[in-house]
Structure formats: C-alpha cells, structure tokens
Amino acid sequence: MSPLSAPKAPIASVAPIAVVLKGYPRLSETFIAQELLALERAGLDLQIWSLRHPTDRAVHPVHREIAAPVAYLPEYLYQEPRRVLRAWAQVRRRPGFRAAWRAFRRDLRRDPTPNRGRRFGQALVLAAELPAEVGFLYAHFLHTPASVTRYAALIRGLPWAVSAHARDIWTIPEWEKREKLAEAAWAVTCTRVGAEHLADLAAAPGKVELAYHGLDLARFPEPPSHSRADGRSAPVRLLSVGRAVEKKGYDDLLAALARLPQGLDWRLTHIGGGALAKHLKARAETLGLAGRIVWRGAQPQEEVLAAYRDADLFVLASRIAGDGDRDGLPNVLMEAQSQALCCLATEVSAIPELIRDGETGVLVPPRDPTALAQALDRLMRDPDLRRRLGEAGSRRVRADFAMSGGIAQLLRRFVGAPRDDAAAQ
C-alpha cells in the first residue's frame, strides 16, 4: 500500500473544501479522481459540486473509493427554475452579491452567450447551498468551473483556487484568464508550457505553480514482458487510448496506418469515447483498415490497464485543434510507460516534457502522417528497440512522475489557504 493509500486523521486547521468540477464521475478524468482520493486520504474534508451529471455507464475503481459527498448543480437552469430562484432570493442580500453581479455583467458584455448566464445561475445555487462550514473553493479547469466558482466565491466572500489543464487554458480569451488569475488565491497547472503561459498573464506570477499530476504507482503493477512481434511472424498489437476528438489526431493516425507496407501485419485497439467516433470508423472503412481495428469505446481503468499490458506499441497522434484546443500532458502516456510499453507520440504541448525522443520513446511532428507512418514502420519491425525505449520510459515515469510530489504541493497550498469565518456565515 502506498503512503497515500492510508487514510489520515482530518487536518483540524483546514476548513472543508468545496471542489467544483465540470462533470463527475468521468472516465476520461482519472487524474482528477486520483487527486481527490489522495487529498481526502491526506486529511482534507472535501465536498464535490458538479456542473453536470455523469454520462459514462461505468466508473473507475478509484471513484468507488472517494468518500466525499457529491452534489449536482442545475445542468440547465430551465430544468430547475424554482431551485435557481430560491437561491437568488437567498443570496441577493449578501454583502458579496453586488460584486458578483458586477463581475458577471462585465463578463456577459464581452461574452454574451447563454453559457455565461447558465454559469451565473449555477453560481447562485452553489453560493446558496454551500454549507456554512466550507472555507475554500477549488475548481478543476479554468473555463466554466472556474467561472461558477469565482461568482460563488464573491457572493460568499470566500477564497478560491483553480487547477488548470489543457483546453481550458488555450480556448478562453486572455482577459478572462487574467481576471481569474488576479482573483484566485493560487493556481496550479499540470504542464510547464501551461504554467509559463499563465504566469505571463498573472499580475503576480508566483500565484501560478507547476504541479504534474503523476501516477499513483500503487495502482500500477510491475511491467510485463511485451511480445517480440515484428509484423512478419506475428501481428504487432497497437494501442491508442484517447477521446475521439480533433486534438487527438486520429485522422492523422488512420492516414499513417494506410501508408504502411501491405506486408506489415498489425492490429490496432482504440479505447475512448468521443464525438468523432462514427466519423473515424467510416474513415477506417474508406481506407480499407476496418478489419484491423477494434473500437472498444470508453472503458474503466482496470480494462485500460490490461490493454497496456497486452499491447506491443502505444501511439498517440495529438495535435492543436482548429479552436486552439490541445492536450496538456496526457495521463495515458504516463500510464502506458509505467507498463514499459513503448510510446510513439507527437511534439505537442507538454508531451516532450515526458517523452525524450529516442531515449524514452519516439516523437514525430504533429499533422504529419508520413513521419508517423515511418516511425510506426521502424518500431513495429524492431522489437528490441521497443523493449529498450519501453523500459527506459518506465524507469523515468516511476522516478520522476509519481503522484506524491504533486499532492504534496497541493497540500502545502491548501493548508496555507486563508479562512474567513465571518464571511462564511
């Protein structure tokens, strides 16, 4: 059992913390679940507030271990109008309501969308229904969860902080990032490139801290011995785990697979949901690849772990989407490397912070199916190279990307978080 696995006595000096999430639980956000469990077991009293109800039919084992109570805000205001109106009546006379209303009006002038109004309505409910003992608010993601958190914190007169990741950093306007960073007590983010970007926007750059999510290595067994398949004597088993969305580059991966020599034998397993799944399956049919690809959809972590251990090569063709969305540091790469599975990925965002090209994996330029196909061809034909890179990747992940470091950083922040008892009443 890892040190983070043993529950600690509650930290008496830290008031209960409301954690605001976009959706909970989510199979694609294992990193959030493992963080919540680790903080809970370190002695923090957490309450989860979710902007959306779950849509995944399964959960990860870690979700079943989290004891924090979960409350759901109105996903759409028209669905619970009485709850929203009751919240407004309850909080409109609070000293902080006018400041929150002014902030919302400024935001609405610059972002006149229904989404902005929905976030203020959710914030009214959050501010009204937060228990009096809550002393701090913590949002995962700098976009909509941080908006709800910011407005509610203003109403209640409470401090708040944010953990920023990928899409939320790169797809919201700079004015919004600047203002949220100015008001937040602190911010953490999981990539060096993201931390540098946010620090450049922050009036006080010291508010922004790099904190890698890392892995709870107690959940990942020692790596297996992967097969020596070379595409001639036996098919090479490729694996990719990621949502079927533009930034994951699955169109590029399919184009690369179509460029491989006909005599090279391979099979691809894809794990993940996503809006582009039907399009990708149709594209695979058009390219004549459908018979070699298995689309498994979203899967719980135990199934994903089994897939890592069974595969020969992991591939992720991430790229920057048309709206600026991009990966941060995909946890799936760390998970695959923990199992000594050789990883082929692209030079996007923070991926080079994890994978050292030619040392702990292979990197190719994004949006370059030809380069990706050449790397696939080389790695599939050379099981010794895959083994060497996979073992080096596993050693680095286990040495430098354990979850304990990031959790220690968060605990230092939370334990030092201010508490205003008068404002919380």
pLDDT tens digit sequence for 112-131: 999 999 999 999 999 999 99
Same domain, 55 and 202: yes
pLDDT tens digit sequence for 145-158: 999 999 999 999 99
pLDDT tens digit sequence for 68-107: 999 999 999 999 999 999 999 999 999 999 999 999 999 9
Q: Decide if 240 is inside a domain.
A: yes
Instruction: Please give the mean pLDDT across all residues of the chain.
Output: 94
Same domain, 375 and 292: yes
**CB-based contact 308:335 (threshold 8 Å):** yes
Contacts of 194 (CB under 8 A, 6+ apart): 164, 165, 166, 169, 210, 328, 349, 350
What DSSP character marks residue 185?
Answer: S
Same domain, 287 and 198: no
Same domain, 201 and 350: no
Tell me the torsion sign for CA atoms 161, 165, 170, 171.
Answer: negative
Residue 92 burial (C-beta neighbours within 10 Å; 0-12, 13-18, 19+): middle
Residue 88 burial (C-beta neighbours within 10 Å; 0-12, 13-18, 19+): middle
Q: How far apart are CA 319 and CA 166, in angstroms?
A: 12
Same domain, 128 and 40: yes
Q: Which domain holds residue 170?
A: 3-214+403-420
Strands (DSSP E) found in 11-96:
17-21, 46-50, 70-72
Same domain, 62 and 208: yes
Q: Decide if 393 is inside a domain.
A: yes
Total of domains in the chain:
2
**CB-based contact 159:183 (threshold 8 Å):** no
Q: How far apart are CA 408 and CA 201, in angstroms?
A: 25
Task: For residues 386-413, give the mean pLDDT.
Answer: 95
Same domain, 75 and 179: yes
Q: What tokens were used for 373?
A: 């196909």
Interstrand relation of 313-315 and 70-72 (parallel, antiparallel or unpaired): unpaired
Contacts of 80 (CB under 8 A, 6+ apart): 74, 125
Would you state the pLDDT for residue 384? 98
CATH number of the domain residue 296 falls in: 3.40.50.2000
Would you state the pLDDT for residue 9? 65
Same domain, 379 and 245: yes
Would you state the pLDDT for residue 417? 62
pLDDT tier at 407 (50, 70, 90 boundaries)? very high
Q: Decide if 425 is inside a domain.
A: no
